[in-house]
Amino acid sequence: MSDTFKSGFAAIIGRPNVGKSTLLNAIIGQKIAIMSDKPQTTRNRIRGVYTSEGTQIVFIDTPGIHKPKHKLGEYMVEAALGTLKEVDLIVYVVDVTAEFGAGEEYIINSLKQVKTPVVLLLNKIDLIKKEKILEIIALYSNQYEFAEIIPISATTGENVRRLLKVLEKYLPEGPKYYPDHMVTDQPEQQVIAEIIREKVIHLTREEIPHSVVVQVESIVERNPTTTYIGAVIYVERDSQKGIIIGKNGQMLKEIGKLARQELEGILGTSVFLELWVRVKPGWRSREKDLKTFGFGEILE
């Protein structure tokens, strides 16, 4: 057996809602990126760490690449495209149930500006007939010279292990960047905020657009078995605040209940979660607010 250790960074890119976060969670084996069937769920570049006996791959789950409509959208696209020259590998995820269009052309043109190897993942193959996969492979092969093309299903796990074996081939020799047990370098505060935001998106569905951001104001362990968390849910309009609070506060209670249950599993303690809802009009279009909420890395 070789003593050589291989490691590197792999960016997961693609249009919104193609299954990037689902893929990352399937690779790591646990939930570190929030998932929703609404597009543009991921806002930050989330690192997920996969470690095997001789390999460590640090995955960066990027925001979906889309035509931005506000400063936050611009940040999200810049965050995604900004990773292309910073990594050893690019994992480009497409949804095989969606038609090839301008969005994919934009991404492929961006890929042509870098020399990083690109592995194309044809995701959601469990939703189409097998014979159609060959047609899609031919279509994308004519657009760009991919290092590899792998049909997968992030939801069922089909070919996810095969993907890891393929990526290992392209990794350079390198150090172990993170300890074996570590699956993400996200700060605890960010993980908590994203879980709360996921529950808002899930429970409010179409009533609340992605104008929601969560800021954790306090995390206090008053004893070894209980964690007290205080967080603020910010929205842009009074009407959105009313929806999140709900009649007699029922919606906010349900958001808190679901978030608390998941946080207890992650933190390994009982969780006392206190939530507030505040209105900050137009925060997605102001750089000052974006920096306050932790989106300023690309804007500076």
Beta-carbon contacts of 189 under 8 Å, excluding residues fewer than 6 positions away, are 216, 219
Q: In CATH, which superfamily holds the domain spanning 6-170?
A: P-loop containing nucleotide triphosphate hydrolases (3.40.50.300)
Please give the pLDDT value at position 36: 45
Whether the CB-CB separation of 171 and 6 falls below 8 Å is answered with: yes
The per-residue pLDDT string of the chain (300 residues; one tens digit each, 9 = 90 and over) reads 457 899 999 988 888 788 888 898 889 876 665 544 444 444 445 678 899 989 999 998 776 564 555 565 566 556 556 667 778 999 999 999 999 988 898 889 888 888 899 999 999 999 999 889 999 999 999 999 999 999 999 999 999 999 999 999 999 999 998 888 888 766 777 778 888 988 898 888 766 656 788 888 888 887 788 989 999 999 888 999 999 999 999 999 999 999 999 888 877 789 999 999 999 887 777 777 777 766 655 434
How far, in Å, are 65, 123, 125, 275 from residue 17 at the CA level? 10, 11, 15, 28
- What is the pLDDT, as a whole number, of residue 64? 59
Tell me, which fold does domain 188-292 have in CATH? GMP Synthetase; Chain A, domain 3 (3.30.300)
Provide the pLDDT for residue 65: 61
Query: d(Cα 16, Cα 234) in Å, to the nearest integer?
Result: 23
Residues contacting residue 241 through CB under 8 Å, at least 6 positions apart: 235, 277, 278, 279
Give the residue range(s) of CATH 3.40.50.300 domains in the chain. Answer: 6-170
How far, in Å, CA of 141 to CA of 120, rounded?
10
User: Taking a C-beta distance cutoff of 8 angstroms, is the pair 159, 130 a contact?
Assistant: no
Residues of the chain with CATH 3.30.300.20: 188-292
